[in-house]
Amino acid sequence: MADDTTDTAVRTDEPYARPGNSDAWRIAALEREIQELRRTNEELRVYVSRELEPEPEFTVVADQELAEFDVVTGSGTTPAAAAVTAPAAAITEPTRPRALAEFHALGPIEAFVGGRLVDLGAPKQRALLALLVGKVGRPVSVDTIVEELWAGQPPPSAVSSLQAYVANLRRVLEPDRAPRTPPTVLRTYGRGYLLDTRVVEVDVQWFGERSVAGWQALDRGDARSAVHEFESALSLWRGQAYAEVADTAYIRPDVARLEELRLSVVEGRCAALLAVGAHEIAVAELEAFVQDHPLREYGCELLGLALYRAGRQADALAVLRTNQRRLADELGIDPRPALRRLEQQILTQSASLDWQPAPRPSAVATRRPPEVPACSVRRQPTHRDHLPRPDFFRSSLLADR
């Protein structure tokens, strides 16, 4: 009897204690197996998610490269930030790769590979590249491309034709790429394509940089550098931006934004010409500008001041009063206060309108200054009170690439 009790008692000295009831033991064993399966399933899920994780957006990679650059050069990066970015240094290169292709989109699309202009092929193939350049660094889906290239009425062979265009562009943009190697410039991203910003350059970006540099130079009183920067920015234009696809709904907002920025740069150049005393040159530029854009009040204001400083007081008043009538007739509004104040100053021949040479900027000032921290105080140039300025900072017209 004692032996039977011993056999049916729970054995706690074994790895898995076996109860006397065989059914209870089987249930316990099944529960252990279920737990093991759950653990295995979770490990498998983590492994698969890691293997199938999509590569990051290229703009994010670019930010990581900038962070690594700060760590390497020691530009104030904290040890904690260095510790966070240190693992990324083992994955990405700290230096930016050499640009493999250069695109000009401020006019009909052009591409340069190795410093040479390349043939981009048929009109739709050129339009495809213009679409991708317009969203450089961001993927453009196949559906969007087909919709825009064929104006909402794609033929059954549209996707096949698109794939052929992509293959042709890849051969043109990377002529030395070995067979069966992944493309570097025009890449596939999900169900779409993108141009990798790490290996391409676009004149739209240069235009934005030059424009901001011009306004910064004018703000710090370096009008000559401002003229140089504005002229460099305007020299990049060869016609309507993204000419091949300017009328498509996908690119039209970018075209409008760039055109507005271009007009603002023209006005900025004329303001800089007035600041350096080139009144006659400014008059010639502004007369044509105001004729093409009569409702731009800042251009009219600059023209009125340029005419007055060129000794043409009556013409200056005529420009301001014509603008006043046009605003009232076409829009039913009055001119802004700056225009009305300028008219009164011209009538009274105010000495504040006379040109005064601005002091030369300090020798340490650079032509292409870095971004000014928000907490810094910018020196007010002496010509600020005598030179009309727009009501907004021009760099706000630049969008996110």
Domain assignment of residue 111, yes or no: no
Domain assignment of residue 38, yes or no: yes
Least confident of 86-90, 108-112, 218-222, 294-298: 86-90
Distance CA 264, CA 281 (A): 18
Distance CA 259, CA 262 (A): 5
Domain assignment of residue 150, yes or no: no
- Same domain, residue pair 273 and 322: yes
Distance CA 285, CA 347 (A): 24
Domain assignment of residue 159, yes or no: no
Neighbours of 363 (CB within 10 A): 5
Least confident of 46-55, 77-86, 141-150, 305-314: 77-86
Least confident of 97-101, 247-251, 329-333: 97-101
pLDDT tens sequence across 389-398: 443 334 333 3
Domain assignment of residue 344, yes or no: yes
* CA–centroid distance for 94 within its chain: 22
Domain assignment of residue 201, yes or no: no
Q: Cβ(304)–Cβ(316) under 8 Å?
A: yes
Neighbours of 326 (CB within 10 A): 14
pLDDT tens sequence across 149-201: 998 889 999 999 999 999 999 999 999 999 889 999 999 999 999 999 999 99
- Same domain, residue pair 7 and 74: no
- Same domain, residue pair 216 and 361: yes
Q: How many domains does the chain have?
A: 3
Q: What is the CA radius of gyration of the chain?
A: 33
Domain assignment of residue 40, yes or no: yes
- Same domain, residue pair 224 and 280: yes
Domain assignment of residue 142, yes or no: no
Task: Flag whether pLDDT at 14 surpasses 80.
Answer: no
- Which residue matches tokens 């920067």? 229
Residue 388 binned pLDDT confidence (cut-offs 50, 70, 90): very low
pLDDT tens sequence across 49-103: 554 444 434 333 333 332 333 323 333 433 333 333 334 333 344 455 567 899 9
- Same domain, residue pair 231 and 357: yes
Please indicate whether residue 242 or residue 64 has the higher confidence score (pLDDT): 242
- Same domain, residue pair 11 and 83: no
361-370's contacts with Cβ under 8 Å and 24+ in sequence apart are 361/220, 361/221, 361/222, 361/225, 365/220, 365/222, 367/213, 367/217, 367/222, 367/225, 367/228, 367/229, 368/209, 368/213, 368/229, 369/213, 369/216, 369/217, 369/220
Look up the domain containing 39 and give its range: 2-51
pTM value is 0.66
What's residue 324's pLDDT?
93
What's residue 97's pLDDT?
57
